Amino acid sequence: MDTFLTPSLNSLFYASILFLIASGLSLVYAVMRIVNMAHGNLMKTLRG
């Protein structure tokens, strides 16, 4: 059970981080019509 639960929770956590970054990027683009490059820098630092 633990071999299935841990990867599932890790993937859910990573997917939620990606969702927050994507929604923030789309919100900034929708309001200002400018792509914010800080989101790319944040993604680069999260990947390690």
Question: 29 Cβ partners below 8 Å, 6+ apart?
Answer: 35, 36
What is the average per-residue pLDDT within 28-33? 82
pLDDT digits (tens, 9 = 90+) for 6-20: 999 999 999 998 898
Give the helix ranges, DSSP H, for the chain. Answer: 2-32, 38-47
Please provide the average confidence, as pLDDT, over all residues in the chain: 83
**Domain residues of the chain, as ranges?**
2-47
Half-sphere exposure of 35 (CA within 13 A, CB side): 4
Return the pLDDT at 42.
73
- Among 39, 10, 43, smallest CA distance to 2 is for 10
